[in-house]
Structure 1
Amino acid sequence: MTRYLLLPMQPTPNGTLHLGHIAGPYLRADILARALRRQGDEVSVICGADVYENWIQLPALRSNVSPETLCRNNGNAIHEDLRSMGIGVESWIDPLGEVDSGAYAALHNELLDRGVRGGGLFLKSERIPYAENTGRAVTGVWLLGRCPGCGLPAGGNCCENCGFHYQPDQILDPRSRLDEGRLIWREERSWFARADDPARIESRLSRLTGSPVFRDLAIRYLRSTGAEVRLTAPGDWGVANRIDGNGAVVCNTFFAYCVYCGEHFARLTGRPNPLREGADRDTQVVALAGVDNLVAALITPLVLSGCLPGTRGFDRVILNRFLLLDGAKFSTSRRHGIWVSDVAANKAISTDELRLFLSSLSLGEDEVNFDVAALIQFVNWHRRRLGSRIAEGEMEIRDIPAGAILQMLKGRGIPVQYAAVEDIRPDALLAAYLAWLSNDDVRRSDPALWRAALAFLVEPLAPLLAAELRSGRKGEEGILIRAGRDLVDADLRSIVHLQQEN
């Protein structure tokens, strides 16, 4: 038995969740947690809203509400979106909420203070663009230009096209997103961390990710930046820097957020925070993120755990490229996507069916297109296949221990136990489930065993279907009740948004 703490990237509450978000770290974390528990491991999943990401300022401005109000409304909606997709978390972090706000800010300043006092950080002067008319620091959400890596239009500090990360003075043809006049460049000092031995950081990447694609992208960034990580920044939104005046806000790094999640884990389980140095390393920490957060999830923790006394890094990082819709990236700002709230309100398709289809897409090192026609074809094939098998075998229910099912499946060569978390791939789990669905020998000789094993295999992917199979009752939100109906394009027309305008 192994203990795991799974930490999917905290979603930014600049809007609610669409399937592009779900298909990445959130569904992967939930499937991974369920599969690990199925093989007898202990798993905690902790997540929360990234309220101090400065990208939330733009939708707040456009909606004429405060960032706090936007974060509260969207943060609650995001938590509900996860629940409606069957994605469970043991603890939900709200850095602006009554429970977390004080402790969250205090931990960020504690880590900054540790780094400053321990000599692990250094002050760096940099050129920061300010808007002439408003005096706003034009960084993050406010900064537009072209990526210095690929030359295509980009903004903030990361190119969505090639994944390259950059500092404000590196972006080409910089300008403000708003009509704020020309840019005035000023020298500012902020705290940074730097790896003493970048080559050692590069060598450790292979222990964190098995993907050569993401490893090479990380190495490219390390060599272009000197393995530097920002700890403070100019700005007016974020955790206030209480240590000194070098950078108005403490950067809300994913690593510091995860250390805070570790505090929640310690309270929940009575075990030490696994991201604190000195704790027994009996809990494996796995971070999950999209490629746009490669630096935050893969590089920054390696650098910071070596520069902030009393901390330690992740054991494994699982990354994914973007999910596309109609050939373009899902986008909140362009309203291009399929939103979870619309899916939850649509009675023609179940969330389990979407989980199964998303599992088939093998989102990983490559971008994958979400094709609505392929979704309809998959759902209808699965409904007919499952409906015919259940109708033939019908509903003999027998309580069979999970251990017995596991041993039986192992004896038949069906993978149900895994040594490495990367091996627990949604598409592989789906293939095992579909193969068993077509196993006529066991279905005819022992229908109850076949059905129990089917529930066992599908549970990580489609938990509502697993409950239906175990109970023999068709749930209102489940698949079995829909098995006699075909899904048609008109059923989904209202939830697929292809608008491209800004």
Structure 2
Amino acid sequence: MSSLAEHFAPQRQGGPMSTPFWITATPPASHGELHIGHLAGPYVAADVLARYLRAEGEPVLFTTGTADHASSVHVRALRTGRKPEEVAEGYRAAITADWLRSGIEFDHIVRPRQDRGYGRWVADLFRRLHADGVIAARTRPLPYCEPCDRWLHGAHVTGSCPHCTAVSEGGMCHECARPNDGADLGEPRCAVCATPAVLRRCRRLYIPLEPFRETLADYWAATELPPSLAALCASLAEDGLADLAVSHPAQWGTSVPVEGFPEQRIDGCFEAAAMHLFGYGDDRPLPERTLHFCGFGHAFCHAVLLPVLLLSQGIKLPQDFRVNESLVIEDRTIVSGSDHQVWALDLLTEYGSDTLRRYVLQARPLGRRTVFRTERLEAARTELDENWNSWLTRMFAAVRAHSAGLAPAALPGGAGWEVLERRLLRTVEDLRETYGPDTFDPRRSVALLDEAVRLVSDFGHVNAHERGRPTADCRHLPALSAQLAVACALSAWAMPVMPEGAERLASALRAAPGRPVSGAALAPPPPGSRLAPPSGPVFGF
């Protein structure tokens, strides 16, 4: 696979081509299962945007990967007496299965140990950066565990962050998102045996970031960064960018393809950033726009290291960022490997994807940490049962009882329909705003959808009394047709948030799934269409 610069330059001269909207989400380390903090962070939100854009007819490329070569995978293997490849493969399979069950549809998930050509591509990129002087050798202190006879880097070492004093691993502090070199951690200890580390001099490969400082500062200034990320980037630029280690003496990971470092492996953060470029592929023109979803603790890789990899190859992409904070449980941050996890698989099994997706979008930690509360997850299920499913059950029962299970041959109408229709058309414009990339706000999307359901549910209750007239004369059918029109609209409008239930509803109404979020969706099924309501709840279970 050629470099992005080598491959894309001639393509952009060759005439019009479809340029995708590129959406990325942080590759999770495959040392554990997904927990609700992952879903409340980048993954569900990024999927909402991708689904909306696809329905609008926009070419979208939605990518991620699994960080199988992260040092945390090796640490988990050492603690459990397993081989690191067994840990990586087992949890990679679990992670991808949880994404699927959550309704998260990636176009490409990079699998470092399975994808053909990946290892050669990463090695070629690393080798080329070294030849260009972007990567250079440095001799610095590195923690070492004498009882384990092992160099300590990444997840192998813990201590206090030199910038914020929080407990941190080597390489990157997930609290303040600033890098460290391991040796500058306060009281570094071995993560496996807890022995205090000693410092030994070690020759490794680094990316000196300071030569990129002015270019990065201009790049950040031209990008509308979230305030938390803007503050981080401004402080990094003001303090001066340190050299970033991109190789370590280790037993796990991709071997360094540079002579003189035979026992070293490529750093996991470097590989996670490079993984995005591999995921984009070499058969597409450069995207007109990219949008990265990530947790704040991983923001350095997205906002600093990835741009450096691009800029070093002469590529400058317009990039946007959606950064979330952490979800916490009982005042404990959800941290991989903790005993205080709420696993995605368990919650999906108990609540289903519709309930869990709408909950994590409502609880999404933007600008501050939020607390996971079981009662609010229960409330999300109650909202679907008592409002969404209750109304749909009444509507389908009325179709069965009063229209022989067929869509009635009546135009939408009924008492209050004109007012309701105007409100719904305003609602869809608001929805389009909340789904759009420039004003993305999925929490507001959930609120708008709930309000639309409450409005049509009230409309249905009010017009149900038409059937009580001594001579009904089919006066109740326009209101029934109106409710079917709203149901058809919601099968499109709710698809980005709750794809499982929306697809089920579209199937029941004989409507095409994945239609645009537009006013045109507010139309009933063709008269005489035989509807196929599900035997159970439409949304959730």
Shorter-chain TM-score category? 0.7 to 0.9
Of 81, 85, 108, the residue aligned with 1:91 is 108
TM-score by length of 1: 0.83
Tell me the C-alpha RMSD between the 2 structures. Answer: 3.0
Residues 196, 165 of structure 1: alpha-carbon distance in 2 compared, 3 angstrom cutoff: closer
**Partner residue, 1:216:** 231
Q: CA offsets per residue over residues 69-122 of structure 1, 9 Å max, x none?
A: 11111111111011111111222321112x43xx22212221122222223333
**Contact 2:29-2:68 at 8 Å conserved across structures:** yes
Instruction: State yes or no: 1:456 paired with 2:492.
Output: yes
Residue deviations 1:209-251 (CA, integer Å, cap 9, x gap): 5311221023323444525433323322211111222481222
Give the residue type in structure 2 aligned to 1:183.
Answer: V
| Most deviating of 421-430 and 9-18 | 421-430
Q: Is the 1:207–1:316 Cα contact (8 Å) retained in structure 2?
A: no
2:492, 2:146 → 1: CA distance? 62
Pairs within 5 Å for 1:30-429: 30-97=47-114, 99-100=115-116, 103-179=117-193, 182-224=197-239, 226=241, 228-246=243-261, 248-252=264-268, 253=270, 254-263=272-281, 266=282, 270-272=283-285, 274=286, 281-282=287-288, 284-307=289-312, 309=313, 311-313=315-317, 315-346=319-350, 349-394=351-396, 409=425, 413-416=429-432, 421-429=437-445
Deviation at 1:392, TM superposition (A): 4.2
Q: 1:64, CA displacement in angstroms?
A: 1.2
Out of 27, 31, 41, the position equivalent to 2:44 is: 27
Verify the 8 A CA contact 1:112 1:231 in the aligned structure 2.
no
- Any conservation in 1 of the 2:188–2:197 contact (CA below 8 Å)? no
Using the TM superposition, give the Cα deviation of residue 189 of structure 1 relative to its aligned residue in structure 2, in angstroms. 3.4
Partner of 1:492: none
Task: Give yes or no for contact 1:132–1:182 (8 Å, CA) kept in 2.
Answer: yes
Moved more, 50-59 or 214-223: 214-223
Kindly provide the amino acid, as one letter, of the partner of residue 352 in structure 1.
D
Amino acid at match of 1:163: A
CA 1:210/1:189 → structure 2, altered by over 3 Å: closer, same or farther? Answer: closer
Instruction: Check 1:228–1:213 CA distance in 2 against 1; reply closer, same or farther (3 A cut).
Output: same
Structure 1 pair 195–165 and aligned structure 2 pair: CA distance change class (3 A):
closer
Q: Distance in 2 between matches of 1:476 and 1:237?
A: 51
Cα gap change, 1:379 to 1:200, in 2 (>3 Å): same
Task: Give the counterpart letter for 2:446 in structure 1.
Answer: L
Counterpart Cα distance in 1 of 2:177 and 2:80: 29
CA distance in 1 between partners of 2:533 and 2:158 (Å): 51
Change in CA separation of 1:60 and 1:244 when aligned onto 2, cut-off 3 Å: same
- Are the counterparts in 2 of residues 208 and 298 from structure 1 also a CA contact under 8 Å? no
- Report the more deviating stretch, 78-87 or 178-187: 178-187
Task: Tell me the TM-score normalised to structure 2 length.
Answer: 0.77
Aligned partners of 2:33 and 2:95 also within 8 Å: yes
Deviation at residue 439 of structure 1 after TM alignment: 2.6
Distance 1:197 1:67, change over 3 A: closer
Q: Which runs of 5+ in 2 are unaligned?
A: 1-17, 400-405, 412-420, 464-478, 509-531
For structure 1, the 5+ residue unaligned runs are 275-280, 483-502
- What secondary structure sits across from 1:163 in the alignment? coil
Offset, 1:34: 0.8
Whole-Å separation in 2 of the counterparts to 1:65 and 1:435:
51
Give the superposition deviation at 1:317. Answer: 2.3
Retained in 2: the 8 A contact 1:359–1:427? Answer: yes
Distance across 2 between alignment mates of 1:381 and 1:117: 59
Q: What is the one-letter code of the residue matched to 1:11?
A: P
Change (3 A) 1:54 1:208: farther
Classify 1:251/1:56 alpha carbon distance in 2 versus 1 (closer, same or farther; 3 Å): same
Instruction: State how far apart, in whole Å, the 2-side matches of 1:191 and 1:165 are.
Output: 13
Deviations along 1:133-152, one digit per CA (max 9) or x if unpaired, are 34311111121211212223
Q: Distance in 2 between matches of 1:481 and 1:373?
A: 16
1:259 Cα offset (Å): 1.1
Q: 1:457 to 1:376 in 2, by over 3 A?
A: same
